Amino acid sequence: MNRNFWITALIAFINSLSFTVLIPIIYLYGKQFGLSDFQTSLLFSIYSIAQFFATPVIGKLSDRFGRKPLLIVSLAGTAIANSIAGTATTAGILFLARLLDGITGGNASVAQAIISDITIPEKRAQGFGIYGAALGLGFVLGPVTSLLAQQISLGFGFIVSGAVAFVALLITIFLLPETLPNKAKKAQNIFDLGLGNLIKGLTMPKVNILLIINFFIGTTFTIFTYAFQPYYINVLGQNSKSLTLLFLVFGVLGVIMQTWGVSILSRKFNVVSILFLGLFFRSLSFVLMPVFPSIVYFTGVSILFSIFNSLVQPMISTLISLNTKPEDQGTAMGLNASYLSISNGIGPVIAGMLIHQSNPNTYGYPLYLAGIFTFLVLFLAIVTRKRYMPQVNS
C-alpha cells in the first residue's frame, strides 16, 4: 500500500471519528428539543434521504472532475452542518443542519473510489479491509471523544464533530493528490441521477444484485441502529455515558476483526463466504438481543454482533469494486452509497413506527424484525451468488 492509500485511510479515520462522535447523542439531543421517538427517528432519516439524492451526483462528479475536489466539498459541508447543529436553538434549525450534512455527505463514497483507484484487484479486499479498520478506529475514538464532549453539553458534541471534519478537510487540501488516472471523457448530465439513475444501476451486470442486497442490508441495519438506543436507555435503564462506552467496545472489536480477522479469514475463505458469515451472525444477534432485558446478557450478545458485523460492508464494497470497470468506480461507489442512504432513511422510520412509548414491550419489536429480515437477506445473497461470484478471485 502506497502513501496515498495511507493518507486516504487517515482521512477515512478522521471522517469516521467525526461521524461516530454523534452516534451516541443524536437520539438524546433530539429529546432536548422535545421530539418524540418517531420524530427523533426522522433526524436520522432526513440525513440519509438527502444523501440518497446527493451521493450519486457526487460520485459521478468525482469520475468527471476528480476525487479531491468532491472530497473537499463533502468534508466542508459536514464541518459547517455540524457546527450549525451544535448551536441550534430550535428543532427546525437542527433538522436543517442534518439536511445540509446529508446533501454534502459523499465523503465515504469518494474515499472508497480513491481506494479503488490506487489498489490492484488482487489487493482490493485487503485495501477495503484496512479502510474498514480505519473507520473502525474512528468508532473506537469517536465514543471517547463524544464522552468528553458530553461533559460540556450534547450540543458541544456536534461542534467537536464539525471541528474534526475540518481537520480532515485540511489534510485533503494539503496532503492528498488527485488519484483518478483517467477522468470520464463524456460530459455527463449530473442531474439525471435520482430515481432514474438508481433504476439504471439495476441494469449494471453483476453489480445490480449487489446493490439490491446492500439496500436490504442497510435497511435492516438501520432498523437496529435506531432501535438500539431507546431500547438500551428505556428498557435496560442505562444512560448516555454507558451507551457511549458500549460503542467504544464495538469500535475496538471492529478494528480487530477488520485488520487481523479479515486477513485470517481471507486465507481460508473467499469474499462471498466471509460476507455470508457476517450476515448470519448479524441476523442471529438481532434476534437474540431483546430476548432477556438484562444489561449483562445484552452486552454479551452485542459483543457477538460487533465481532461479525464488521465483516459485512468491507466485503460488499470489495465485491462491487471487483465487478466494476476502473473508470466507473466512483459512479458504482456513489450508487452503492445512495442505495445505503435511502435504506438508512427507511430503517429508522420503520423502527420509530413500531415503538410506542406507552408500551415498553414495543422497544424490542424492531430488533426482532431486523433479525428476521437479515436472515431473508442472507438467503437472497446465497441464492443469487452465481450472478456476482465469477469476477471474484480472492
Question: Is residue 37 within 8 Å of residue 357, measured between CB atoms?
Answer: yes
Whether the CB-CB separation of 139 and 16 falls below 8 Å is answered with yes
**Rounded (5°) CA angle 157-21-237:** 90
Q: Residue 245 is placed in which grid cell? A: 462506552
CA 277/CA 389 separation, integer angstroms: 16
What percent of the chain is modeled with pLDDT above 90? Answer: 36
pLDDT digits (tens, 9 = 90+) for 191-244: 555 566 577 678 888 889 999 999 999 999 999 988 888 899 889 998 878 888
Q: Band of the pLDDT at 337, cuts 50, 70, 90?
A: confident
Task: Give the span between the Cα atoms of 258 and 388, in whole angstroms.
Answer: 23
- Which domains are present in the chain? 3-178+192-387 (1.20.1250.20)
pLDDT digits (tens, 9 = 90+) for 103-115: 887 677 788 888 8
356: β partners:
359
Residue 171's region, left for phi above 0, alpha for psi from -120 to 50, else beta, is: alpha
Q: Which grid coordinates belong to 360?
A: 415498553
Cα first-last separation, the chain: 17
